[in-house]
Amino acid sequence: MDLRDLEAFVAVAEELHFGRAAIRLHVAQPPLSNRIRRLESELHLQLFERSTRTVTLTDAGNRLLDPARRTLRQAAATAEVAASIASGEEGRVRTGFAGASSQRLLPVLATAVREAHPRIELVLKSQTYVYTALEELLSGELDLAFVRLPIPHPELSFRAVEVEELICALPADHRLAERERLRLGELAQEDFVSLPPDQGSMLQATMVSLCHGAGFRPRITLHAPDSSTVLALVAAGAGVTITLSSVRPVQSVGIVYRPLEAIRPSHLISALAWRTDNPSPALTRVVDVSRQALPTPDLDAAGINASSIGIGQV
């Protein structure tokens, strides 16, 4: 028994006429009659009483009719869902994010996806810093992730979504708080607060690299699990840190933010990344939505050479 058997049975049961049922199903009457006879043989049931003038349902046929209708409705619903998934109108996109910048951009993307494709679910994974996110994209554990450029994996596609300036955060009563700009070397004797080195944060790795370039190793006395806690500790006087311009609204009491002179890089670029060969139609839809919700920033205005970070390859 297959769905065509049930369709034939329901059509004859509702029309109580083989000719009208055949027209409804766009088939000839003899094959329809043969299908009903085969169905009755398979079920070991007589479904219809037939005469030269009338067709009526037997008691067994009456009992089978509602279950047959339900089965056809469920099959149609299944086919509709399958078509929706295949078109990308329905599905799940596993999305990794971490840090203040992605926590600000993510709601914008999520809202736009809900409005454009309400049956696509963003399955969110927090505390997924860039190096971890890249590994999970490559392994297939994530479909999409907020990361930072450059991306050293040719298997991944990406698009830039934000340019953030690297700045210094100091306690409001710090000896350098009155300065308009700072040189990184002036912080050589300071205590630093940082994200953990094993968390996969590019910001943490960049801070250490910049300090080494300025001729000193940062004296990190406290680690915190996220940027919000790092900034709270700075505001409490526990030390200084290198952070990003996007985090200023996160902590404004007891803290000051100052630009840094003569550092390279002076900015970090946030991006959305995904595996190029990911076959998910829902992912394609979400990436398309992101182009409107999170437009590509003007890198030239920030003085960034796009080709140096592989933007020209996208």
Instruction: Write out pLDDT tens, residues 279-309.
Output: 999 999 999 999 999 998 877 665 665 554 4
Return the HEC string of the chain. Answer: CCHHHHHHHHHHHHHCCHHHHHHHHCCCHHHHHHHHHHHHHHHCCCCEEECCCCEEECHHHHHHHHHHHHHHHHHHHHHHHHHHHHHCCCEEEEEECCHHHHHHHHHHHHHHHHHHCCCEEEEEECCCCHHHHHHHHHHCCCCEEEEECCCCCCCEEEEEEEEEEEEEEEECCCCCCCCCCEEHHHHCCCEEEECCCCCCCHHHHHHHHHHHHCCCCCEEEEECCCHHHHHHHHHCCCCEEEEEHHHHHHCCCCEEEEEEECCCCCEEEEEEEEECCCCCHHHHHHHHHHHHHCCCCCCCCCCCCHHHHCHHHC
pLDDT at 304: 65
Report phi then psi at 242, rounded to 5.
Answer: -100, 125
**Relative orientation angle of helices 281-293 and 59-87, to the nearest 10 degrees:** 50
Q: What is the reported pLDDT for 24?
A: 92
| 235 and 192 part of one domain | yes
Higher pLDDT, 62 or 227: 62
Whether 27 has a pLDDT exceeding 60, the answer reads yes
**Are residues 286 and 214 located together in one domain of the fold?**
no
How high is the pLDDT of residue 84? Answer: 67
**pLDDT tens digits along 81-138:** 777 677 667 889 999 998 777 778 999 999 999 999 998 999 999 888 888 999 999 9
Looking at the fold, whether 230 and 185 belong to one and the same domain comes out as yes
Domain with residue 225: its CATH number is 3.40.190.10
Does position 182 have pLDDT exceeding 70, yes or no?
yes
Q: Is there a single domain that holds both residue 247 and residue 173?
A: yes
User: Has residue 312 got a pLDDT over 70?
Assistant: no
CATH of the domain at 65: 1.10.10.10
68-77, 206-215, 226-235, 304-313: least confident range: 304-313
Regarding whether 180 and 34 lie in a shared domain, the answer is no
Half-sphere exposure in the Cβ direction for 215 (13 Å, CA): 7
Query: Amino acid identity of 265?
Result: P
What's the pLDDT at 12? 94
Query: Which residues sit opposite 169 in a β-bridge?
Result: 241, 257
The pTM for the full model equals 0.67
Record the tokens describing residue 63, joined without a space: 């009992």
- 212-216 long-range Cβ contacts below 8 angstroms, 24+ apart: 213/184, 213/263, 213/264, 214/183, 214/184, 214/185, 214/188, 214/263, 215/185, 215/188, 216/185, 216/188
Interval 263-269 mean pLDDT:
88
pLDDT at 302: 56
- pLDDT band for position 259 (cuts 50, 70, 90): very high
Q: What is the predicted pLDDT for the residue at 252?
A: 79
Task: Give the domain-ending residue among 34, 67, 86.
Answer: 86
Residue 275 sits in the same domain as residue 196:
no
pLDDT more than 90, % of the chain: 67
Instruction: Tell me if 45 sits within 8 A of 64, measured CB to CB.
Output: yes
Cα→Cα distances 128→48, 125, 199, 272, 308, Å: 63, 7, 8, 13, 25
Q: How many domains does the chain divide into?
A: 3
Q: What is the pLDDT of residue 196?
A: 87
Do 144 and 272 share a structural domain?
yes
Domain identity same for 251 and 175: yes
Least confident range from 18-27, 217-226, 299-308: namely 299-308
| Domain range for 44 | 3-86
Indicate whether 52 pLDDT > 90.
no
Task: Indicate whether 193 and 219 sit together in one domain.
Answer: yes
**Mean pLDDT lowest among 3-7, 238-242, 295-299:** 295-299
Tokens 């902590």, located at residue: 251
Same domain, 169 and 257: yes
Same-domain check for residues 280 and 143 = yes
User: How far are the Cα atoms of 104, 283, 285 from residue 88, in angstroms, in the given order?
Assistant: 26, 7, 6
Question: Sign (positive/negative) of CA torsion 185, 188, 189, 190?
Answer: positive
* Shared domain check, 275 and 238: no
What is the average pLDDT score of the chain? Answer: 89
219 pLDDT higher than 80: yes
> Of 68, 86, 104, which residue constitutes the final position of a domain?
86
Domain edge (last residue) among 261, 276, 295: 261
- According to DSSP, the residues that pair with 261 across neighbouring strands are 183
Per-residue pLDDT, 177: 93
Per-residue pLDDT at 303: 60
